[in-house]
Amino acid sequence: MTQTSDNVTWLTQEAYNQLKAELEYLSGPARTEIAAKIAAAREEGDLRENGGYHAAKEEQGKQELRVRQLTQLLQHAKVGAAPPDDGIVEPGMVVTIAFDGDPDDTTTFLLASREYASSDIETYSPQSPLGIGVNGKKVGEEAEYELPNGRTASVKILEAKPYQG
C-alpha cells in the first residue's frame, strides 16, 4: 500500500516489488516490442497516413511516461509494513462506509495511492476529499468531507481492514 507524504511514498514490500517488476518490463521487453511495432509500421510507407505508425508512437509515449512516473515513485519510496489491523483508517486499508449513516447506502474502497489501484477494488487517494475525511477515523466514527459542489457530506466508518490484495 502507499501513503504519500512530502515526496515520499510509503509502500509495502509487495507493492514495491510489483511496481519494480512493472518498471523492469516496461524498460526492457515492452520497449523492444513497441520499437518492433514502429519499425513494422514504418515499412508500410507514407507515415502521414499510416494509422498503425501513429498508434504505435502514441503507445510508446504513454509507455515512456509510465516509465518516468515509476522511476520517480520508486526513487522516493520507503518500504514499510502493511498497516495494523486496528480498525483505524489509514492508507493501505480497505474501508467500508455508510453515506449519511444509512446502512443500505454503503461502499467499500481501498485507501491508497493511484499507483496501487487495481481493477479488483475501487481506490481512493488519501489526498482526495473522502480520503482526507476518513483518514485517522476509527470504526464506528463519523467523518465529514467536502463534495465538489462545496457541500459537506458525512459517512460512518463501518469497517477498516488491511488490504490483502
pLDDT digits (tens, 9 = 90+) for 37-61: 999 888 887 777 788 888 999 999 9
How far from the centroid of its chain's Cα atoms is residue 110's Cα?
A: 9
Distance CA 17, CA 69 (A): 15
At residue 27's C-alpha, the angle toward residues 126 and 75, to 5°, is 45
Q: Which helix (H) or strand (E) holds 99?
A: strand 93-99
Residue type at 118 in one-letter notation:
S
Rounded to two decimals, the pTM is 0.61
**Model confidence pLDDT, tens digit, residues 106-125:** 999 988 876 665 667 788 88
- Domain of residue 25: give its range: 2-80
Q: Is 14 in the same domain as 73?
A: yes
Domain count, the chain: 2
**Neighbour tally for 28: CB within 10 Å:** 10
Q: Is 98 in the same domain as 75?
A: no
DSSP letter, residue 126: T
Distance CA 121, CA 163 (A): 10
Q: Is residue 85 part of a domain?
A: no
Q: Is 68 in the same domain as 103?
A: no
Question: Which SS3 state, helix, strand or coil, does residue 157 take?
Answer: strand
Distance CA 65, CA 79 (A): 23
Q: Is residue 88 part of a domain?
A: no
pLDDT over 50 (residue 5): no
Q: Is 50 in the same domain as 104?
A: no
